[in-house]
Amino acid sequence: MSKSGPDFYDDKTVFETYLTHRRTPTNPNDLLESPVFAALVGPVADLDVLDVGCGNAGYGRELLENGAKSYLGIDGSKNMIEASEHVLAGTMGRTILSTIEDYAYPAASFDLVVSRLALHYIENITRLFQQFLTTLRPGGRLIFSVEHPVITSHNSMLPGQRRSNWTVDDYFVTGRRETNWLGGQVVKFHRTVEDYFLALQTVGFVVESLRESRPDRDNFSDVQEYERRRRIPLFLFLAARKPD
């Protein structure tokens, strides 16, 4: 049976497989997601940061080391929050166990809201963007990455197999998808690129940047892996600002 995002990461086998996956040197998060995310975020000195779907808060530690004034991560997985307490030990960073949907986003409290690879687990993205707008101070920024819509459109992943082909299908049939991943089944929500963009504009954000995970040859020691990652975009990124 397919699980929601937090329940999926609370499955012992999935969680261990996820950690192993993240530690492999060719993991797409490090090779493709992190470089673009870092470029979009830029300097973080003196910023109050909210990280939505923070996982083990490894990014929180990095933000604090780079001068962020404060860091608050929220995640619905007990496994992730437990891991985050070790990762943030000795820092001023904090995490809270909460679903993204149920967190009471306090008004005008953050300069930067980030979310990395979590929002494709959320059904009602417009409501959430409205909450992000409320919780940001005027001029504050929202930066997020999600699984690219060409990936979420269609579940062509066979359990336990390395993909050699991708199918984009039902692209404009948005909504719930059940996907095999990391030895489990999880529910994701497919939206088009346009849906993300328009939802930001509809609630009042000014969209400042849209990026895809175009691979940078310099980040790859293995040329075959580089060529493989040039076939299809894995991630989509958007950066937006709350008007002053």
Tell me which residue has its CB nearest to ligand SAM. 5
| Burial profile 83-106: b = 16 or more Cβ within 10 angstroms, e = fewer | bbeebbeeeebebeeebbeebebe
Name the minimum Å distance from CB 86 to ligand SAM. 15
Under 8 Å between Cβ of 114 and 55: no
Collapse the DSSP code of 96 into the 3-class scheme (helix H, G, I; strand E, B; otherwise coil) and give the result. Answer: strand
Cα 78 to Cα 58: distance, rounded to the nearest angstrom:
16
Supply the minimum distance, in Å, between the C-beta of residue 193 and ligand SAM.
20
Contacting residue, 71, 105, 121, 235, with ligand SAM by CB under 6 A: 121
Does the protein bind ligand SAM through residue 6 (CB under 6 A)?
yes
CA proximity to 71, closest of 110, 116, 99: 110
Provide the 8-state DSSP code for 24: S
Shortest approach of ligand SAM to residue 46 CB, angstroms? Answer: 22
Q: How far is the CB of 244 from ligand SAM (least distance, A)?
A: 28
Within 50-89, the residues that bind ligand SAM by CB under 6 A are 53-55, 75-77, 80
CB of 138 to ligand SAM, least distance (A): 26
Residue closer to ligand SAM (CB basis): 37 or 220: 37
Choice from 30, 101, 208, 212 touching ligand SAM (CB under 6 A): 101
* C-beta separation of 85 from 55 below 8 A: no
Which residues are CB-neighbours of 118 under 8 A, at least 6 positions away? 5, 52, 53, 55, 100, 144, 146
- Give how far the C-alpha of residue 162 lies from the chain's centroid of Cα atoms, to the nearest Å: 22
Pick the closer one to ligand SAM by CB: 191 or 227: 191
| CB-nearer residue toward ligand SAM: 89 or 223 | 89
How far apart CA 117 and CA 56 sit, in angstroms, is: 13
The residue among 124 and 201 lying less far from ligand SAM, judged by its C-beta, is 124
Q: Which is nearer to ligand SAM, 11 or 111 (CB)?
A: 11
How far, in Å, CA of 171 to CA of 152, rounded? Answer: 9
Could you tell me the smallest distance in angstroms from the CB atom of residue 80 to ligand SAM? Answer: 4
CB neighbours of residue 195 within 10 Å: 16
For ligand SAM (CB under 6 A), the number of binding residues is 18
When the beta carbons of 101 and 225 are compared against ligand SAM, the nearer one is 101
- By CB under 6 A, name the binding residues for ligand SAM: 5-6, 9, 53-55, 75-77, 80, 99-101, 116-118, 121-122
